[in-house]
Structure 1
Amino acid sequence: MYIVQVASECAPVIKAGGLGDVVYGLSRDLDMRGHTVELILPMYDCMRYDHIWGLHEAYRDLMVPWYEGAICCQVFCGWVYGRLCFFIQPQSDDRFFDRGCYYGCSDDNFRFAFFSKAALEFLLKSNKRPDVIHCHDWQTGLVPVMLFEIYKYHGMEYQRVCYTVHNFKHQGMGGSEILAATGLNQDAYYFQPDRLRDDFNPFAINFMKGGITYSNFVTTVSPHYAWEARFSEEGYGLGHTLHVHQDRFRGVLNGIDYDVWNPQSDRYIPNHFSVDDLTGKAKNKKALQEGLLLRESDRPLISFIGRLDEQKGVHLVHHALYHTLNQGAQFVLLGSATESGINAHFQHEKQFLNDNPDCHLELGFNEELSHLIYAGADMIIVPSNYEPCGLTQMIGLRYGTVPIVRGVGGLLDTVFDRDYEGIKPLEERNGYVFYQTDTQALESAMDRAIGLYQHAPELYEKFVLQGMNYDYSWNHPGEEYLKIYDFIRHR
């Protein structure tokens, strides 16, 4: 099968969040199964060019229709760790991708509407005819719209689209000027509630709604998040659209790269270990304590790795820090704040706790340290307000680090409470789950984990091994996506 991924990110060359990891990981798995996979990406000026091999011009002077004229683009080609990627570089005064950032510009809707148009134009002009075009998030929501309304009449009538939503909160909005720019000129046609018109703003088109409405199949990144998107506020207004198209909507759990996240071969950790021999994990804990100037102790070491923002439950992260210390345990935090107020708050906490031998706050991102924390910590907290899928809990399980999570989104699909899980037998449980957003619920889950560690070490070690035996690689989601691709190809 020939599959083209169209996305705004691909790790590690373009990575702002989990989207980049998913695009790379899924592409790699499909490629390993013998399918032909290519990626189309924006050519940002700030992407990691050191992760691209053999970058060269692949298509010169691609003229992309835009308003009443056209914008000339150069398309470059290179390999990103075995993945064949095409990068679109517009030659325009708008400097769409020469901003020193991936997102956050006032005209992001125009930037990615143009990227979507250019991706389709490149496929058309280069005579690439993939079996499936797989698009991701609001940035590429207009791809299936333009494919169905324009490009199928120019020789692309057999291409099918799978559209994956990674986060329903960010949907992409625009007005009639977007329609004019992309060639979708009939305002009265597209501003219909069963097409692109936003359900809450009659003067706006909704990119994500367009992607859902026009795609052959729609997925999101975990089964429970799919349920939340349809039946709770997590759909951010798209619940009705998802209900209308429920027969082609499904949650497929993301995976993690088991080559990158492998305690048996991880190049960032000093001591390798496995489910058959955990001695290396204890040594990594000592290495972590030594490296961060923590007291060398066998008391439980609890960690947090991730963004410090409202989505990640930052108020509970702060409470977990002090509850850990009050329980005589140790706490390590690695994360960066997205808001200045939150950053200032944690900078203050870092200074206040600077001499405490049982905690360390690392404000920023450090790839090497993240691996050592996963390998050396005993537990990891993920107290998110909402979490479409979540990767940290999967990585924690892989490294024998027991997850303590809030029961939302993909966290509920991957972590099963040791004491209160109603479906899995005791020998298949792997973590601790709490549901409310108050501090008492968090404390209850933490105390149960700490109690098992302190009072029943043999049971705790057995519990660690149960978590390590779970398979959250790309193997299962890769199979799921191939079934979806086959389904839409033969409809």
Structure 2
Amino acid sequence: MGKILFASSEVHPLMKSGGLADVSASLPIALHQNGEDIRILMPAYRQTLAQIDDAKEVASLKLDGYHQPVTLLETRLPDTNVVLWLLQSPHHFDRDGGPYSQPDGRDWHDNAARFALLSRTIVAIACNEAGLNWQPDIVHCNDWQTGLAPALLSQREHRPKTVFTIHNLAYQGLFSRETFEALDLPEALWQMDGLEFYGLLSFMKGGLMFADHITTVSPTYAQEICHYEFGYGLEGLLKLRAEQGRLTGILNGIDTQQWHPGKDPYLSKNYSSATLRNKSVNKSALQQRMYLPERAETLLVGLISRLVPQKGIDLSIAAINTLLSNGADIQLVCLGSGEPGFEQELRVLRARYPDKVAVNIGYDEALSHQIEAGVDVFLMPSRFEPCGLNQMYSLRYGSLPVVRRTGGLADTVVDASEDNLKDSTATGFVFEQASVESLTETLQRVLELYQHPRKWRRMMLTAMAQDFSWHISAQAYQSLYQTLNGN
């Protein structure tokens, strides 16, 4: 088995701003279980160190472009045997706020320096210059925060192979030419076939241009990013890499222990496909917790999301508003935070329909599990969705997803068409256009089918039978690693 360095800017539960953190924990765990010698590298954020009490210093590094040496701390990913290295540089990471932004939501002014430091540390470990006496065969980088590493490694003779995973192409890590100079990067990298992107420095392009292989988090997203609508100006480069056979879509898995309706500690009553009636206990409990009338016959709709245009929040708000104003028997439970305008629109909707709409602005892990278990359908009308995890959680919990046909949503949800209902393959509701009309029509279709309990129950059982564990995806990554190493 090979040695793999897995580098990420966030890893659950030590730092999380989105799905990247979930993948950066569960994929290495699955690879470790499959016998790989995998080590995770992430920054030692203040919140991360607060959760760890047994980290020991294993290396001190002096890196190009930085006056102060940095240290590497070693510990284990909580509740696992996976080795975790924390990049400690108090000047860069010991601060309140999120991994990329200040407590007020604005980006840190020195993000380029912070994540260039992470990339240089990756290079030092990859080239066995960190004094760890461990050199990886594969360096697996994730998203723009690690994008400089494949670029810098491309200039080294004896280097491991590199894999770069795009979790979301919308975030590219774009900075000025002055920043490029301030980071003391090799001048040879400032060119169109390098890090330069329309006069700017692109961290993301470093990964796309120089990695030995690129992966994305679903097969459909791998195709979509080669086209103008989803490519963010990088579609030409991605199309070329795809034609070279160096771009692959591997569907993310989910943590089936953390998301398990039969064992979930956050639920009022655990259930499985054999005890499906117990799901209704969670519906009542959720209605009660969110101060909604306890009505078993009302269609309860769930929404857990960042409140941003990508997620189609505007479509959800408008479609639910239309249905409620027409007297539809539905309730909405929403958990999320994001753009103040969307937060306000949700509050207005709740004020207009206090017995139909419940809103929790923020994030609450327990509530997110209770929503997945308690609702009848889960709303995810994303404009684009590289993979998406919530629709897979919903399927596992028998809460039928309503999704737009894009990215990982297209790869994981089978529409309740007549044919799919007949042959028992339907697991949710899929629509095409990112429009209020399309979503409203689909929700009307949901309401109609909800009047047929036997058909609905069959769909729930089909949904719960789907396997989205990391087992299959981890094997796909292992086979990619072996191919790269010529095995």
Q: TM-score, normalized by length of structure 2?
A: 0.91
Say if 2:233 is the partner of 1:237.
yes
Letter of the aligned partner of 1:215 in structure 2?
A: A
Task: Give the 3 Å change call, closer, same or farther, for CA 48–311 of structure 1 in structure 2.
Answer: farther
Conserved 8 A contact 1:403-1:431? yes
C-alpha distance in 1, partners of 2:363/2:417? 34
Q: Say if 2:114 is the partner of 1:111.
A: yes
Residue 130 (structure 2) aligns with? 125
**2:467 is the alignment partner of 1:471:** yes
Give 1:365's aligned residue.
363
- Equivalences for residues 244-263 of structure 1 within 5 A: 244-246=240-242, 247-263=245-261
Distance across 1 between alignment mates of 2:426 and 2:294: 30
d(CA) in 1 for partners of 2:398 and 2:219? 24
Helix, strand or coil: the match of 2:225? helix
- The answer as to whether partners of 1:383 and 1:405 remain within 8 angstroms in 2 is yes
1:109-129 deviation line (CA, Å, top 9, x unaligned): 221112211232245222321
Partner AA of 2:358 in structure 1: H
Q: Which amino acid aligns with 1:305?
A: I
Displaced runs of 4+ in structure 1, greater than 4 A?
175-183
Q: Structure 1's 26 and 255: CA in aligned 2 closer, same or farther, altered over 3 A?
A: same
Q: Which amino acid letter does the alignment assign opposite residue 393 of structure 1?
A: Q
Q: Say which SS state the counterpart of residue 307 (structure 1) adopts.
A: strand
- Partners in 2 of 1:401 and 1:183 — Cα distance? 51
The yes-or-no answer on 1:442 pairing with 2:439 is yes
What is the DSSP-based 3-state SS (H/G/I as helix, E as strand, rest coil) of the residue aligned with 1:102? coil
Q: 2:97 is matched with which residue?
A: 100
Q: Is the 1:42–1:89 Cα contact (8 Å) retained in structure 2?
A: yes
CA 1:420/1:240 → structure 2, altered by over 3 Å: closer, same or farther?
Answer: farther
Aligned pairs for 1:284-433 (under 5 A) are 284-299=282-297, 300-325=299-324, 326-354=326-354, 356=355, 358-419=356-417, 426-433=423-430
* Pair 1:425–1:240, CA change in 2 (3 A): farther
Q: Distance in 2 between matches of 1:443 and 1:489?
A: 50
State whether residues 226 and 239 of structure 2, in contact with CA within 8 Å, keep that contact through their aligned partners in structure 1. Answer: yes
1:333 deviation in Å? 2.7
1:6 aligned partner: 7
Superposition deviation, residue 44 in structure 1? 1.2
Q: Do the aligned partners of 2:305 and 2:337 also contact (CA within 8 Å) in 1?
A: no
* TM-fit CA distance, 1:53: 5.2
Structure 1, residues 188-209: CA drift from partner, whole Å, max 9, x if none? x3233222221xx1x2232211
Q: Is contact 2:220–2:249 with CA below 8 Å preserved after alignment?
A: yes
Are 1:195 and 1:209, in contact at CA under 8 Å, matched by a contact in 2?
Answer: yes
Structure 1's 232 and 429: CA in aligned 2 closer, same or farther, altered over 3 A?
Answer: farther
Conserved 8 A contact 1:45-1:100: no
1:296-345 Cα offsets, whole Å, 9 max, x none, are: 22222111111111111111121233245345333233333322222233
Partner of 2:104: none
Q: Is the 8 A contact 1:42 1:87 kept in 2?
A: yes
Cα shift readout 1:247-283 (whole Å, capped 9, x = no counterpart): 1101111111000000010010021111222021111
Contact 1:167 1:388 in 2 (8 A): yes
* Deviations 1:231-255 (CA, angstroms, capped at 9, x unpaired): 2321101111112211110111111
Relative to structure 1, the CA distance from residue 451 to residue 264 in structure 2 (aligned partners, 3 Å threshold; closer, same or farther) is same
Is the 1:12–1:48 Cα contact (8 Å) retained in structure 2? no
Bigger shift: residues 323-332 or 300-309: 323-332
The residue type paired with residue 248 of structure 2 is R
SS at match of 1:86: strand
Unaligned segments of structure 2, at least 5 residues: 101-106
1:28-67 correspondence to structure 2 within 5 Å: 28-47=29-48, 49-50=50-51, 52=52, 54-59=54-59, 61-66=60-65
Query: How far apart are the structure 1 equivalents of 2:276 and 2:123?
Result: 50
Q: Output the CA distance in 2 between the equivalents of 1:96 and 1:295.
A: 46
Kept in 2: contact 1:42–1:97 (CA 8 A): no
Whole-Å separation in 2 of the counterparts to 1:137 and 1:58 = 26
**Amino acid across the alignment from 1:343:** E
* Preserved contact between residue 405 and residue 433 of structure 1 (Cα < 8 Å): yes
Distance 2:394 2:273 in 1: 13
Where structure 1 has 5 or more consecutive residues not aligned to the other structure, the ranges are none
SS of equivalent to 1:430: coil
CA distance in 1, matches of 2:291, 2:175: 51
In 2, distance between residues paired with 1:77 and 1:425? 54
Say if 2:43 and 2:88, in contact at 8 Å, map to a contact too: yes
Q: Which amino acid aligns with 1:88?
A: L
Superposition RMSD in Å: 2.1
CA deviations 1:71-98 (Å, max 9, x no partner) are 3112212222213211111254xx3553
Identity of aligned residues (%): 32
Q: Is the 8 A contact 2:349 2:357 kept in 1?
A: no
Task: Report if aligned partners of 1:334, 1:370 keep a CA contact under 8 Å in 2.
Answer: no
Give the 3-state SS of the residue equivalent to 1:265 in structure 2.
Answer: coil
Find 2:476's aligned residue among 480, 486, 490: 480
State the shift of 1:171 in Å: 1.1
- Going from structure 1 to structure 2, the CA distance change for 1:86 and 1:224 (only over 3 Å counts) comes to same
